[in-house]
Amino acid sequence: MTIQERYWKYFLITFILLSGSLLFREFSPMLTGLLGAFTIYILVRRQMFFLTEKKKWNRPLAAVLLLLEVVLCILVPTFLTVWLLVSKLANINIDFSALIAAVQAEISRFNLSIDNYDLFNADNLKSLTSFVTQGLQIVVGEISSFLVNALVLLFILYFMLLNGRKMETYLAELLPFNEKNKKSVLKKVHSMVISNAVGIPLLAVVQGIIAFIGYLIFGVPDALLLALLTCFASIIPVVGTAIVWLPLCLFIGFTQNWWVALGLGAYCVLLLTNADNAVRFLLQKKMADTHPLITVFGVIIGLSLFGFWGIIFGPLFLSLFFLCVDIFKQEYLDKKG
């Protein structure tokens, strides 16, 4: 390679890296739409190939039909569920004064104190109310972001469906692996996306049903609302649904009856939590043969990197990291040995 060719090569690499970084920074607010389009493309690509290659449908018509399927089966139900949840949360009226009075009574009963510090003074109560209000405002803002990214998702997905085979071939050619390793990487991507995109909503539904039954048994008010919250909380591994049912048990104990609170807590520990761990890890192992630790830490890392879609792309990112390490070991270290 001549000096001029090396200059062209390194200039092109530098330009690609700098331009790519700039584009990524500017496009980051719409990253959710891009990741969503990629996820849904993996789910519906076979339908697109069947309609266009087997049934000989017109490609734009088939793409529009699949976009309509995505809107009706995924986007609309998701939006309506979130909107129902937010509207109910906005109208709920929690008597914080009664709750705090009950907590203070319990503290006084057991003669507990925290260095004579009044944890429930007026300033702290005001801060708690302000915190809850800000949380609701953030959720409403996320709904607006969801609508924008839904449009981005549909726009990108349409062109991905139109040029599916060409896009897949082009991306496969860019991968810096031999044919065997390319197949391993692409298979891992496909299986992980399918596993998380199907398994996580299924897990949320199972968790919500189990929680709803328990809330009805123990007479919890607004059982449907709390079951929906439990569905969304199930996304978070390890802690998961405890974010909802543990404060709920404490609330019932302080304001109503400790026996009911203990019964609900036992139900959630024995059924809800165990079902969460069992179903989550069973699905991941069955559908993608993923180690539980990759699932747990992948989601934790993914949520901070990718937002909501981190529940899918976090474990995928971590799995690809270890896969690339294994490929490097096989291709370079083992051969030298």
Only one residue has tokens 């897990």, namely: 203
Q: Distance between CA 213 and CA 84 in Å, rounded?
A: 20
Taking residue 50's Cβ as centre, other Cβ atoms within 10 Å add up to: 12
Q: Residue 301: its pLDDT value, please?
A: 84
Q: Residue 61: its pLDDT value, please?
A: 94
Q: Residue 114: its pLDDT value, please?
A: 47
Per DSSP, which regions of the chain are E strands? none
Kindly report which listed range (16-25, 89-98, 211-220) carries the lowest average pLDDT score.
89-98
Q: What is the mean pLDDT of residues 2-16?
A: 88
Q: What is the mean pLDDT of residues 164-172?
A: 89
Model confidence at 117: pLDDT above 60: no
Q: Residue 18: its pLDDT value, please?
A: 93
Residues ≥6 apart with Cβ < 8 Å to 301: 310, 314, 317, 318
Q: Distance between CA 244 and CA 233 in Å, rounded?
A: 7
Q: Residue 6: its pLDDT value, please?
A: 86
pLDDT above 70 covers what percent of the chain?
Answer: 75
Q: What is the mean pLDDT of residues 3-8?
A: 86
Kindly report which listed range (62-76, 160-174, 187-201) carries the lowest average pLDDT score.
187-201
At 49, the pLDDT band (50, 70, 90 cuts) reads: very high
Q: What is the biggest distance separating any 2 CA atoms in the chain, rounded to whole angstroms?
A: 85
Q: Residue 75: its pLDDT value, please?
A: 83
Q: Over the stretch 229-241, which tens digit does the pLDDT of each residue have?
A: 888 887 776 677 8
Q: Residue 108: its pLDDT value, please?
A: 60
Q: Which pTM was predicted? A: 0.75
CB 172 within 8 A of CB 55: no
Q: What is the DSSP string of 72-102?
A: IIIIHHHHHHHHHHHHHHHH----HHHHHHH
Model confidence at 136: pLDDT above 70: no
Q: Over the stretch 178-221, which tens digit does the pLDDT of each residue have?
A: 888 888 888 888 887 887 777 778 888 888 898 899 899 988 88
**Which residue did the predictor score with more confidence, 17 or 75?**
17
At 292, the pLDDT band (50, 70, 90 cuts) reads: low
- Long-range pairs for 46-55 at CB < 8 Å and ≥24 separation? 48/161, 48/164, 49/164, 49/165
Q: Distance between CA 92 and CA 222 in Å, rounded?
A: 9
